[in-house]
Amino acid sequence: MREDFELNMSRRGLLAAGAASAAACAAPSVAGAQQSRPDATTTKVSLNVNGETRALDLDTRTTLLDALRESLHLTGTKKGCDHGQCGACTVIVEGRRINSCLTLAVMHEGDKITTVEGLGTPQNLHPMQAAFIKHDGFQCGYCTPGQICSAVAVLDEIKAGIPSHVSADLNATMELTTDELRERMSGNICRCGAYSNIVEAITEVAGRKA
C-alpha cells in the first residue's frame, strides 16, 4: 500500500512538474506573440453615399456594410447571412448592385453608393418602393431593402442589354421575361416567400402588365 501511495505521489509530482515547465516555456512565446501582433490599422475613406460625400476614419478591415450601418447609421441595408448568400445587404455602387458584406469600404474610395434610403423617402417614394407596397412584395420586410435595390439595378441591366445566364440570344434586345427576372433576382432570398408579389411589383415598374 505504501509503495503504491509513493508511486502515485511520484506520478502526480511528475505531472505537476511537467505542466509547470510547459507553462513557463509557453509564457514568453505567448507574450512575444501578443507584442508582435500589429494593432488594427485605420485610414481615412471618402464615400459618396446617396449624393453626399462622407469622410470616415475606418479600420481597413471594415466591410462596406458595416461602414454604412455602424458609421453612417444607414440601417436600411440589412446584415443577413454576412456571407454574400442572401442579398439582404445589396446596395448599388457606381450603377451596379453588389453585396456590401463582401467588399471592404476602403475599396470604394470616391465611389457613388446608393442605399435604399437614397432611392426615396416616405414622402417621395421611388416607383419601385411604391410598387412593393402596392403589391405586398414583402412580409417581415427584412430582405426588402436588398430586394428593392437589386430590382432597380435589374431593370437598368436589362435596359443596358446586359445578358443573364438564361438569355437565349446574346445579340438580341434584352426583354423582361419571367425567366429573366427570376434568374436576375435569384441572389435575393425572401424567407417569407413573397416572390410572386415581388415579380408583380418589378414588372409593373418596368411598364409591363403584372
Report the range of poorest mean pLDDT among 40-44, 69-73, 137-141. Answer: 40-44
What's the pLDDT at 209?
A: 47
Amino acid at 89: C
Q: What is the mean pLDDT of residues 152-157?
A: 96
Nearest to 114 by CA among 67, 49, 66: 49
- Using the predicted structure, report yes or no on whether residue 76 has a pLDDT greater than 90: yes
> Which pLDDT value is given to residue 141?
95
Q: How far apart are CA 67 and CA 59, in angstroms?
A: 10
pLDDT for 119-153, tens place per residue? 999 999 999 999 999 999 999 999 999 999 999 99
Going edge to edge, which strands form the sheet with 96-99?
52-59, 42-49, 112-114, 90-93, 96-99
Tell which residue, 56, 146, 164, 161, has the closest CA to residue 108.
Answer: 56
Q: What residues are paired with 92 via a beta bridge?
A: 97, 114
pTM: 0.78
Asked if pLDDT for residue 15 goes beyond 70, the answer is no
Mean pLDDT on 77-100: 97
C-alpha cell, 209: 402588365
Identify each DSSP E strand in the chain by its residue range: 42-49, 52-59, 90-93, 96-99, 112-114
State the pLDDT confidence band at 100, using cuts at 50, 70 and 90.
very high
* Cα(182)–Cα(151) distance, integer angstroms: 11
Average pLDDT across the chain, whole number: 86
CB atoms within 10 A of CB 98: 20
| Average pLDDT, integer, range 186-193 | 95
Look at residue 169 in the predicted model and tell me its pLDDT: 81
